[in-house]
Amino acid sequence: MNERRFQLTFGLLILAQAAHSIEEYVGRLWETFPPARALTGLVSPDREFGFLVINVGLVTFGVWCFLWPVSRRWRAATGIATGWGIIELINGVGHPLWSLRQGGYTPGVVTASILLVLSLVLLAQLRR
């Protein structure tokens, strides 16, 4: 595996997740997607605030994963990156399927395509 390309792909995946979270926030995902509504409600009765807490935490964790385990080549980096790749692959497939079911745009579908491509590239790099 080319370590620099792997690190770059992982970093781009985290940046794409940040953009994805912003798109979902602007589209008020917690109001239209029942699982997001339920999850944000576990964090706070103010679902918008719950959404922010969850997504800021997710992106912060992603940045931490990039800066420490991935960039410093920890043994756990492969497992962490695989986990991120699988989660973002699900995200990248799930959003378009939801949009098809709804018959139009749903919050997050535009950036989901970026997550899909980057997760597939990352998972392919990890297989090498």
DSSP 41-54: HHH-SSHHHHHHHH
Smallest CA-to-CA distance from 85 within 111, 124, 112 is with 124
Q: Is the pLDDT of residue 2 over 90?
A: yes
Task: Give the per-residue pLDDT at 1.
Answer: 78
The number of distinct structural domains making up the chain is 1
* pTM value > 0.85: yes
Q: Residues 79-100: what's their mean pLDDT?
A: 98
CA distances to 35, 38, 89 from 118, rounded to whole Å, are: 24, 28, 8
Task: Give residue 14's identity as a one-letter amino acid code.
Answer: I
Range of the domain at 56: 3-127
Q: Residues 73-87: what's their mean pLDDT?
A: 98
Q: Is the pLDDT of residue 38 over 90?
A: yes
Q: Residues 53-82: what's their mean pLDDT?
A: 98
Going by pLDDT thresholds of 50, 70 and 90, the confidence category of residue 124 is: very high
